[in-house]
Amino acid sequence: MSKSFRIVLVILAFGLLIGPALDRPAWAIEAPKAPAPQPVPLTVTIRPIETDDLAWLTEAAQRGHPMAQYSLALAYRRGKGVPQDAAQQRHWIGKAAETGFGWGHYELGRILETGEAGAADLAKAIESYKKAAEKNIIPALRRLADLYETGPGPFRNPSIGAGWRTRLAAAEDRERRFLDFARAEGAKSRPDTELAPLLKALAEEGLDKASALLGQWRLSGRGGAKDVSAAIALFGQAAQQGSCWGSYMIGRLKIEGREIARDPGPGLDLVRRAIQENCLIAMDYLGGLTERGELVPQDVDAALMLYRLAAEQGFANSAFRLGQIYEKGSGVGADRARALAWYKKAAERNHAQARIEVARLEGKPAPNSVTLQAEAAKLLQEPAVREWQNLSLTHMVNRRCRFFHDATSEAHGRQAADAEARLRAKTERAESLAEIERATLALANGMACDAKARGLVESVRKRVADQAWRKGADH
């Protein structure tokens, strides 16, 4: 082998060793790099009320409930249960938007943009989309970004479109992170002390439901020390960000005088505001007050409407209350078939007592009934459970017999509800508690409204009044 050939081999070997570390020459052709993966656009929608009872839905819409108005508009659009009618579609969507309902504004914007139910008007469509975007409706943010980036000439403005695109990306990122948080919480894969900072970051970034949930955690001391002031501030922040839950929580605290000064008037206004934003728990709560005639005139028809609006959207307790009302004929004609139908809806949502009632009405053994009764009897040996049953029983009797209707009666109901909430938070024996609740209700309904019953109620009222006085003195 010649000397020159050996030199060439050495040079080639050296090049193979150091080549990867050297910059490639300018003329080198590189394989195209795969584009960075882009997040899949987040699909966010709201499910309308799906019912074959269009007469009821129309009545709910006429009474001014925005979700009923929105759902009725979609029924007219699709011709579901009613003839397709573009004028009615536009009318009811307009009504929903007038209430400030975010999804009403979005759907009105879509109609105005497409001319689906009348003349198209892109300027008005954009204004309606902007009102929906103020409520953090993600499809509205996306449509505004698209229209400003690629829309017709008079409306195209790429710089404004880029701003909406940035807002959209931030909103979608918050929603994805909240979903990750919710999965971790549901799976109990991480301790609350680790999850609380994630929730706090989302709240600080303006995610309304994160602010409301963090307020709930601060109020109960979950994930850290209990901090009532911080909880109230977070509920207020959530309400300003558009959360109906924030409005509901402050309203309920004001109504019940828990943690903050009692102020029922403004509290009721906040609960009603939450209902206008389609807050199901607020519907259930005001339905209960209306059914009982607490703070508002007693009106079973109005209570039924609120319960059904929530139940049709999957709120289990409202479906259960409808079952109870129709079974007992409380202010309406008793209807066993309708009662069973509502109990079944509640049972489908894992309402423990509803499962028991379904089995009873169908003549089947209640799930593990013997075990449940034994567990309930064991639970009743605990002083806190007996106290809850006593408060609940006398409150139910007082409501049914109408012995008293004053501030002490309201405090009586709050103490019963608080006692139940404490028990449910501390025990996983929900079905046993439901069995006690069922037996207590049966006992209350079976008592005569006589002097003996009145004396029983009075004895508990005295204790309730004493406790309320001591609480006031402590403050």
CATH number (domain holding residue 222): 1.25.40.10
**HSE-up (13 A, CA, CB side) for residue 431:** 17
One domain for residues 463 and 405: yes
The pLDDT-based confidence of 470 (bands split at 50, 70, 90) is low
One domain for residues 195 and 162: no
For 44-85, write each residue's pLDDT tens digit: 788 899 999 999 999 999 999 999 999 999 999 999 899 999
Q: Which of 277, 293, 309 is the last residue of a domain?
A: 277
Q: What is the predicted pLDDT for the residue at 346?
A: 94
Residue 53 CA to residue 102 CA, distance in Å, equals 25
Closest CA to 420 of 392, 383, 459, 461: 392
Lowest mean pLDDT among 26-40, 323-337, 405-419: 26-40
In terms of DSSP H, where are the helices of 277-367? 280-292, 300-311, 316-328, 336-348, 352-361
One domain for residues 215 and 110: no
The pLDDT-based confidence of 421 (bands split at 50, 70, 90) is confident
Whether pLDDT at 163 is above 60: yes
| Residue 332 domain-assigned (yes or no) | no
Q: Which of 253, 277, 301 is the last residue of a domain?
A: 277
| Residue 222 domain-assigned (yes or no) | yes
- With a pLDDT cut of 70, the percent of the chain lying above it is 86
Q: What is the predicted pLDDT for the residue at 468?
A: 57
Total structural domains in the chain? 3
Please count the residues of the chain.
475
Q: What is the predicted pLDDT for the residue at 83?
A: 93
Whether pLDDT at 473 is above 50: no
Q: Report yes or no: 184 and 195 within 8 Å, Cβ to Cβ.
A: yes
Who wins on pLDDT, 139 or 7? 139
| Domain, as residue range, for 230 | 190-277
Q: How many helices (H) does the chain have, and how many strands (E)?
A: 23, 0
As given in the structure block, the two tokens for residue 104 are 């009403």
Compute the average pLDDT of residues 177-201: 90
One domain for residues 159 and 237: no
Q: Which of 223, 243, 277 is the last residue of a domain?
A: 277
| Residue 313 domain-assigned (yes or no) | no
